[in-house]
A and B are shown apart, each in its own frame.
Chain A
Amino acid sequence: MGKQRVKFTFDENMVKQPVIYELGQKFKIATNIRRAEMSEEVGWVILELEGDEPEIQRGLEWVSTTGVRVDPLGGDVIDG
């Protein structure tokens, strides 16, 4: 079992979609929301995912295909 901390960003097309619910339904992943801010146009959720690491990777790849942006926790680490 592994854990991964990620940030999902939803644009206005995705902000009403139950992506986190579906992530838990489609994959054997426990989703644990720690912090979030949502509005009608945009939103982000910081959460911890727990499950087998390959399953987490498959789950994150699926989330990316929905149009939700997936980033590591804390923003980009790529730096100048």
Chain B
Amino acid sequence: MISRLIWAFVPAILGQEEPTAVAFVNGLKCRECGREYPADPLNVCDFCFGPLEVVYDYATISEVVSQDSIAKGPLSIWRYKDLLPAEGDDPVDIMAGFTPLIKARGLGKTLGLNNLYIKNDSVNPSFSFKDRVVSVAATKALEFGYETIACASTGNLACSVAAHCARAGVRAVVFIPSDLERGKIIGAAIYNPILVSVDGTYDQVNRLCSELADDYPWAFVNINMRPYYAEGSKTLGYEVAEQLGWRLPDHVVVPSASGAMFTKIWKGFNELACLGLLDGVPSSSFGIDQNTVHHPAVTTRMHMQQAMGCSPIATAWNNNQTQVIPVRPDSIAKSLAIGNPADGIYAIKVIERSGGSAYAVPESDIVEGIKLLAETEGIFTETAGGVTVSGLKHLAESGAIKPDELTVVYITGNGLKTQEAVEHVVHPLSIKPTIGSFESVFEGAK
């Protein structure tokens, strides 16, 4: 297959205009049977219907990327443009990424963890990590010439697609189940997309969008753009490594729905190692399969957290199942409510390779996790974050994470979107506008 990079340099070779930056992508490859495809808007292999993954020209990437080149980039995911499958010179960018990595002293003290950090991705422009993947998918969609960008969503993705389309000046069509949290519906509607509220179950919305993707010339970010879209999550791995001074943590704790983000964080760590971008780690070959490479210097243990009401991957891992059995979601963590996770089996392989774990957090612990994070760190996360923090608590209490091990917990969505889950925390002191009224109530509350 001819590298697109070669074509990009042809005008320069001929003495014409300077070449523009082109993603270092060789094409797509089936994760199951290995068949190769051009870098087109495809997501499954025509032969075996396996998922397609981006294949990079790492030899060329290694010649251009360095810690310095990254440091000179913008404070967004596009500082890693050489490692992303879309052209980075004029991306659809609402400044996703480069979110804070915070030393979690309060939460760490509560859990007995002395070296705990929070990757706070709830402060992305549309308030979830989805801005990372959508920025890549939207940029790629425009490269392909699409004029409409669409998605099926339980909320966060809808908000992000609508926001990026507003920025790019293209049409957004977002499909959501009608029983979604109000904050997510408003959070998407404000950007003025075509908002389609489907009177049906998640399964029915899911099936509808799969059929529409065949019939409409739209870029569905999580269907025909999926190989490119998913790569945006690698930046969650890159950023943590860079923010830790180009080293990797001992443990990461990650919420999971489809399993895609989980596998891509792992892939990001291994790409950095193979490219020699981690301190003290020499570059090495990616081997035969870029998507399953495991560099020996990557010793981070990957811990996946799911909500008990939708935990097909954790269930498969904990029961030593060779298959991920689909479930019907019944969880308050709607952004994690994917019953038939597309990357579930690949996520299990990552848990296995990394020496990690998977845990199904009891539904009753989710709100406790939200409150624990808020009360110890001043960060208000959505229900998915409650799952993650409660899972972290379980790991600490069980001794799976030792007190001094460097641990990063990923908080991927903002609490303002799922306020319904924690409405019961509101207990104001009601007083008359007098000092006496205040003091009598305040004394009782102390």
Contact = CB atoms under 8 A, between A and B. Distances in A.
Contacts of B151: 79
A34 interface: yes
Of A34, A37, A73, A80, the most chain B CB neighbours within 10 A belong to A80
Interface stretch (B234-242, B292-300, B334-342): B334-342
B99 interface: no
A77 B210 contact: yes
B441 to A, nearest CB: 42
B116 interface: no
Given A9-B326, A71-B326, A73-B44, A78 B153 contact: yes
Contact of B47 (A5, A34, A73, A80): A34
A42 B222 contact: no
Contact of A71 (B50, B340, B384): B340
Contact of B206 (A4, A43, A44, A71): A71
Interface stretch (B15-23, B154-162, B267-275, B421-429): B154-162
Interface string B32-57: 10000000000110011111000000
A37 B32 CA distance: 13
B363 to A, nearest CB: 18
Interface residues of A, number: 26
Contacts of B413: 80
B414 interface: no
B153 A80 contact: yes
A25 to B, nearest CB: 24
Nearest to B177: A78
Interface string A28-44: 00000011010100111
A80 B207 contact: no
A37 to B, nearest CB: 6
Contact of A75 (B47, B155, B258): B258
A46 interface: yes
Nearest to A69: B326
Interface string B213-230: 100000010110010000
Given A37-B323, A42-B323, A42-B325, A77 B222 contact: yes
Contacts, number: 107
Interface in B320-363: 321-323, 325-326, 335-344
Interface in A45-80: 46, 48, 69-80
Interface residues of B, number: 51
Contact of B338 (A43, A46, A69, A78): A78
Given A5-B49, A71-B326, A80 B128 contact: yes
A77 B48 CA distance: 19
B202 to A, nearest CB: 5
B265 interface: no
B113 interface: no
A59 to B, nearest CB: 14
Contacts of B343: 75
B48 A35 contact: yes
Contact of B157 (A4, A69, A75, A80): A80
Contacts of B213: 77
B341 A76 contact: yes
Contacts of B222: 77, 79
Given A5-B49, A46-B49, A76 B202 contact: yes
A76 B322 contact: no
Interface string B378-391: 00000010000000
A5 B220 CA distance: 17
Contacts of B341: 75-76
B45 to A, nearest CB: 9
B373 interface: no
A77 B206 contact: yes
B152 interface: yes
A6 B401 CA distance: 41
B210 A34 contact: no
A74 B128 CA distance: 24
25 contacts: A5-B49, A7-B340, A9-B340, A34-B47, A35-B49, A42-B321, A42-B323, A69-B326, A72-B207, A72-B210, A74-B44, A74-B223, A74-B226, A74-B342, A75-B258, A76-B206, A76-B338, A76-B339, A77-B209, A77-B223, A78-B338, A79-B258, A79-B338, A80-B336, A80-B384
Interface of A: 4-5, 7, 9, 11, 34-35, 37, 39, 42-44, 46, 48, 69-80
Interface of B: 32, 43-44, 47-51, 128, 130, 151-157, 177, 202-203, 205-207, 209-211, 213, 220, 222-223, 226, 257-258, 321-323, 325-326, 335-344, 384, 412-413
